[in-house]
Structure 1
Amino acid sequence: ARVSLRHNGDIIHGQLVRIRADLADDSRLAGLIAEIPVDDATRTQLLLGSYVEASIDAGFIDGAIAVPRRAVGDNARVWVVDADDMLQIRQADVLWESAQQLLLSPSTLQAGDRIVVSRVSGLVPGANVRWREVDTDTGRPLEDSATPAPGNG
């Protein structure tokens, strides 16, 4: 991935080599190892271990599905309501994660699947369910299977 570093008001471009495995206990920040081309200007500005502001261009993942972290359970499994309104468990292919959300590969879902984002106990695969679509930002209901949206029933 391409990296742009801002240091002392200057922008320096380079490549992300790796992300360190250890996290700082107090801040949960990870260290990045970037390869920066060195010339006379950058040699005097950027020292090993310097703190910088970094932007990482990781590219675009076509069809990736953003879900709240709470929607993905142990061993990267997600509960889905399939096209027949039946509960199913799917193995999620996690492409990227942050503290709040994960990006899943489109191959995680089948046509008509809806991801369960609420924590509900006692779920049983194959159970028929009523579902409610919610705005992921506000948590407010948009539609549910018992009350079709206007023009759909």
Structure 2
Amino acid sequence: MEGLSISDANLVVYVHPSQSKNVRMAILRQLSTLLFKYNETFDAVVLGYQFDILDKTAKILSGIHPYFGVRIQAKLLTLSPKPDMLLEGKVVKLTRDSIHVIVMGVSSAIIAREDIRGQFKYRHKHGKESFVSRSDKHHVIKEGVVIRFAVKR
């Protein structure tokens, strides 16, 4: 899928001395804080990671709490959608003014009314909401369907 990439990163993870008995678990906790949030450093949303500790020795940082830095090499699976890129997502909610979509089962996107093509008309019938094409009545956007859309920003 477009926008997905695997990046190699050399990182330093700072670990509190109280977590020194299980450094690997401390690193996992730190890396988990990156998941499913936009990260400016990577210019993407981090979806997954895999890492190896590069050096068995750590540098102790001076200060109030003497954290120590552990050098790791990580492979990061990232999603970085750019304008005009095509993405696919499952429709999870419809309103008169928007279509709410889950992309790759993890990231949410909203398509605002002004971005929905003019050929679609909003319909609320029998408690179900949908957008129906004016030219082809069988072309319907409703909850549960997968749609392809272009990224605006």
TM-score range, shorter chain: under 0.3
Structure with greater contact order relative to length (CA < 8 Å, sep ≥ 6): 2
What TM-score do the two structures reach when normalised by structure 2?
0.24
Which has the larger strand fraction?
2
- Relative to the length of structure 1, the TM-score reads 0.24
